[in-house]
Structure 1
Amino acid sequence: MALQPVPSEMMLDSVAEYHGEDGTWDVERLAPWLPAEVLQKVTAVAVDPLSTEKDTIFWTRSSNGCFSTKTAYLLANPPQYDSRQQLGKQIWQLPVPERVRCFSWLVYLGKIATNQLRFSRKCSPSSSYYRCEDVTHLSCPP
């Protein structure tokens, strides 16, 4: 992330060495090393000049603060959620009887034995029938 190689003696510098006693960041000292957008984010963080806490390294992508290849992988490859996947989860949270949730789940999975599905599986001679051609006709009167 640095604009140029950071000298090894600077690698052990603490945060306190980059801000003044009043808590303002020493931008002139940081600017040669950080891209402008990163410098802007760093300087937006308020520093408590009276803090006596020791500097520590903390990986914010994990609950314990320790870096791991798993958290780095998840950062580089965030899980993708699509609306269809969300719908599947929402079905099980519906405030309806269990049998309606189960039926809805089967519709969602495309497992209701409509004539269209039966025909595609070679279980029916025709894909049309006056009552259950496809899922959209499930609520039609007999």
Structure 2
Amino acid sequence: MQLATVAKLWNDQGWNLHFRRNLNDWEMCRLAELFFTLAQFSNLSVEEDSLVWNVGSKGWFTVNSAYEDLNTVGIEEVEWPWKRIWKTEIPYKVNCFTWLLAKETVLTHQNLNKRGFHLCSRCFLCEEQGETVNHLFLHHKWTSQLWQMFTNMREIKWVKPERIKEVLKCWNRDGNAGRKEERWKIVPSCIWWTVWLERN
């Protein structure tokens, strides 16, 4: 029975188990547990097996259903700031760069090391710390001055988040200013693109 398939052991009447020997009394409880476990699989049929995508309502895979499923995994994913990346009036290459930053996959020394390129991880701008996405684009002393300059222009008291994605989530909310809102939305991408060009 070890190598038996479900098709060999199940038919329209239910499970048809055959044992090589008679069961002992003490094994009957285990058999009852087995039948109880098997009873939980009530949607078996004699039809040929097929793949079913349980997330979608129709039973087949769509990118949209996969995206919606991923966005319901946790609060952090539900709040993914894609509109703040793709719905801004900046060059497409800067949008793509911002997307990579939000995913923390821009090719800094840290990410190159993860991909097998063994480099001495040091920030090109300050040569004091390891070069990570969040250090280079948020917490580096020169980058911090850029952030400070823009927040001072709006007289915003702003605590800089730890990560890029958190900046995208809070930036519009903290600096909303009517007609100038569209210009304000692109400030993070402008800072990040400028830092990247300076770094390279």
Kindly name which structure, 1 or 2, has the bigger radius of gyration based on alpha carbons. 1
Q: TM-score range by the shorter chain?
A: 0.3 to 0.5
TM-score for both structures, normalised by structure 1: 0.36
Richer in helix (by share)? 2
Question: Structure 2 length normalisation: TM-score?
Answer: 0.27
